[in-house]
Amino acid sequence: MNKHYDIVIIGAGPSGCMFASELYKYKNYSIALIDGQTEENKKPCGGLLAPDAQKELTKLNLTLPKYLLTDPQIFEVETIDLKSRIKRYYQRHYLNMDRYKFDKWLLSLIPQGVNIINDRCIHIRKNESIYNVTLKSGAEISCDYIVGADGGNSLVRRTLFPALTYTYTSIQEWFKCDKGLFPCYSCIFDPYTSDSCSWTIFKDDYIIYGGAFKTSDCKKRYEEQKLRVEEYIGYKFGKPEKTEACMLSSPRRWKDFLCGKENAYLIGEAAGFISSSSFEGISSALTSGKMLSLAFINSKKSKNVLKLYKKYSFKLRIKLYLKTIKRKILCSPFLRFIIMKSGIKSIKKY
């Protein structure tokens, strides 16, 4: 007989973990959390904890264990425009961490009453008021409420809702590299190969080079851009130790931010809750997971959950919509040239 739960959460990243943890503390729901992430199959991520995410952890009274951090810690970003050949430095305060360990740490904080299932969801179907979930192992479970916390390529969203209008393929490679050859963190713009941004980040003895590319010919565009970066910096990355890729959301319109319907809900990047200008999504994942839990806790009727979730997340959606405007400015070669040429808010090095 298939196991039935009140709530099944697809995805055990920051949003899924936060929702499960906060809800179980106050409501006696039977909850299953599907965790499909392993060391061999983990989410590609730069692993930088931005100030907004640090603020959310502070609100939750959570402090980061030392073992999650990697060297070096970061206080600036070097911004490069390969078309204009302008380079500027801007002050930023990020915590450099191991993203996979961070996710597993959040998972370890979930109360024992939540059933964590190490498997991958491959199919979802609705049968009247019940959602049936098929796992890669062949097991099937069902639930009254389903929560999509499964990232930019969300199966829950693709199955039950309109898909996001715009997504990228994020590709990044890890290279052995000595510190001192590059800045700790750089943001790279190259309109010839992408209408978005790319990055380099140091992680202990490795440098990560990655970027967001239109899905068609993404690998070709990545390799072309990498050659342009190597020519600019006068250094060849060499053979990568590993290559990672995933789908990355880039909300552009108000309706791309989607909370849910009919006892199905979206949180984190699956809901479109990610910055389209920087692709920072951890803060929004934590926030939206907390907000949906509050909607369940404070709702006396199931039909009111969505109404409350929309109310609680309104300011977050406004904030992220403003990021779409910021993206238009930063990713416009002409406007970016003016901003970088002016040097406004940049740091002048001695």
pLDDT digits (tens, 9 = 90+) for 256-305: 999 999 999 999 999 999 999 999 999 999 999 999 999 999 997 777 99
Domain assignment of residue 137, yes or no: yes
The answer to whether the predicted template modeling score (pTM) of the entire model surpasses 0.75 is yes
Tens-place pLDDT, residues 31-44 = 999 998 877 777 77
CATH classification of the domain holding 299: 3.50.50.60
Domain count, the chain: 2
Q: 255-274 burial, b if ≥16 CB within 10 A, otherwise e?
A: ebbbbbeebbbbbbbbbbbb
Question: Is 56 inside any structural domain?
Answer: no
Q: Are residues 20 and 136 in the same domain?
A: yes
For residues 152 and 299, state if they share a domain: yes
In a domain, 136, yes or no: yes
Give the pLDDT band (50/70/90) at residue 331: very high
- Do 35 and 112 fall into the same domain? yes
Q: Does residue 199 share a domain with residue 91? A: yes
The answer to whether residue 243 sits within a structural domain is yes
Residue 39 burial (C-beta neighbours within 10 Å; 0-12, 13-18, 19+): exposed
pLDDT at 329 over 90: yes
pLDDT one-digit tens code per residue, 91-117:
989 999 999 999 999 999 999 999 999
CA distance 10 to 23: 15
Q: For residues 9 and 42, which has the higher predicted lDDT (pLDDT)? A: 9
User: What stretches of the chain show up as alpha helix (H) in DSSP?
Assistant: 14-26, 51-59, 99-108, 155-160, 218-233, 282-298, 305-312, 314-330, 333-342
**pLDDT at residue 24 tops 60:** yes
* Domain boundary residue, one of 224, 249, 274: 249
| CATH number for the domain harbouring residue 87 | 3.30.9.10
Judgement on whether residues 172 and 230 belong to the same structural domain of the protein: yes
Q: Report yes or no on 294 lying in a domain.
A: yes
pLDDT band at 161 (very low <50, low <70, confident <90, very high): very high
pLDDT at 37: 83
- Give me the pLDDT at residue 252, please: 94
The pLDDT value recorded for residue 293 is: 97
Quick one: 217 and 84 in the same domain? yes
Amino acid in position 22: E
Q: Helix, strand, coil % (nearest 5) of the chain? A: 35, 30, 35
Q: Indicate the pLDDT class of residue 179, thresholds 50, 70 and 90.
A: low
Q: For 324-350, what is the mean pLDDT? A: 92
Q: Which two tokens stand for residue 109?
A: 């904080």
Residue 336 has pLDDT above 60, yes or no: yes
Say yes or no: 310 and 173 in one domain: no
* Domain membership of residue 87 as a residue range: 66-97+168-249
